[in-house]
Amino acid sequence: MTTATAADTGNGHITGFGTKGYRAYVLVALTLIYTLNFIDRTIITVVAQPIINTFSLSDTQWGLLTGPPFALFYAVMGIPIAMWADRGNRVFIITLCVIVWSLMTVFCGLAASFIWLLLFRIGVAIGEAGCTPPANSIITDYFPPKSRANAIGIYSMGVTIGGVLAQLFGGQLASLQGETFGGWINAIGLGFLFSGINWAEVEGWRLVFVIVGAPGILVALILWLTTREPPRGYSDPKSTVVEKAGFFEAFKEFGKKPTFWTISLGAAFVAFVGYGLISFQAPFLMRVHGVSVAEAAINYGAPLAAVAAFGTFLGGFLSEKLAPRFPAVAAWLPGVGLLIAIPAYILAFLSPTLTFAFWMWVIAAIAHYAYLGAQYTVSTSIVSPRSRATTVSVMLLIISLIGNGIGPLFTGMMSSAFMGGIVKKNGLEEAFASFNPGLCGARIAELGEAGPALCSAYSEGLRQSMVATVIFLVVAAAFYFLASRTYLKDRWSPATA
């Protein structure tokens, strides 16, 4: 890895840093990193029901596992890492963090209990906290202002591309049997390395974590060896070598901008809904529509993630094309998309047929995820180059605490509450005391006479919870429209510095 020098940044705001081809390579590399970030972050949701069954978890416990602890450590570690990124070598920081979260993902597959899985997920959160703030800072130094919305939109596609790949790989691998994988290991001559493992006892969801986590280490090393650290502020007008801002100085800069707070809260409530839904997407498909883990992931999860990626790209593309006519479009366009997504989601969750539900879900996902690029485009454009990584980290703290921190837990608690209400209404309290969700489906007879009613309550409670979660997109849309009213006034330029 080499570090670039700022010999001449006079035309950086026109040309960007490096050649066009090299800029494209760096953008692709960072997008790949962000894709791995979301594969490792969301892979747990793909194999949700098998994990719930293995550890006999309630929906509230599952919401806790995928929500507050991960979000808290992601948020807490994000700010010091971003402060480091505003002072140190951003490429090295990203490399180190990728290695950390990849190793922790592998360890999730080795978890012997709910507590160990929770601890390893916290490790994933700590590593992933060092991805987006320095990556966005690097992108703004590689690309001139006119190209940033599209570049950041492409980078943001890592969220939904990662979702697609997580569904595809997770769905395929989760259907593996331990004995099958162990036979393959022996066939390629590596069986001696795992001679102490009884492959018959290895569950498919454990293999998922190990196989998807390990490649990140190699990708991190390639990034370190091939990516140049750009001068700060290189691609901004009349830029020179930019001094690094301290946290409080950066906070003073963005803290007085109303746009920062409204765009952050808008993105936080979108994430609240998004994380709540994705955490229970596979269980919803399995419980309500009776599909398998592999079917839920491959036939429905992967296509939905793909159209969400298209929505992310479409949001960035439309923002760039409409900006000359509507300068504040990056702030208000997500609000329009969210208002379209709400009724589509509700119809999807209430539909009695999976085909209709899927197509409504497709419309909702495209409109929903058009917001992703906007949160970075807006937040980095209202502060000076020296404060961008810290600004993004504080925004991600807000998003993480409200979105990832509360969203899955809210959806899980509401699911448990709705199920409890149905159980009480039908007088099933005594049977519910010994209810094992892993028996719903092929083994429902083992639940006794009350089995069908309990499993129906189990699925209906989640259905109602998904609808309740979606309503919060109304709040998110309102914040985006508020952000659009102050965005143009709050945008940073050298003249106002």
393-410 pLDDT, tens digit each: 788 888 888 988 899 999
Place of tokens 């998309």: 337
Residues 6+ away with beta carbon under 8 Å from 390: 79, 82, 83, 85, 86, 133, 245, 247, 250, 251
Query: Which stretches of the chain score pLDDT less than 50?
Result: 2-9, 239-241
- Structure confidence at residue 488 (pLDDT): 86
3-state secondary structure 125-146: HHHHCCCHHHHHHHHHHHCCHH
- Structure confidence at residue 5 (pLDDT): 45
Question: What are the b/e assignments for 276-313, b being 16+ CB within 10 Å?
Answer: bbbbbbbbbbbbbbebbbbbbbbbbbbbbbbbbbbbbb
Among 363, 398, 395, 403, smallest CA distance to 377 is for 395
Dihedral sign for Cα atoms in the order 79, 80, 85, 91: negative
- Structure confidence at residue 6 (pLDDT): 43
202-226 pLDDT, tens digit each: 787 888 898 889 899 999 999 999 9
3: which DSSP letter?
B
Burial of 468 (0-12, 13-18, 19+ CB in 10 A): middle
DSSP per-residue string spanning 310-321? HHHHHHHHHHHH
Dihedral sign for Cα atoms in the order 289, 407, 164, 355: positive
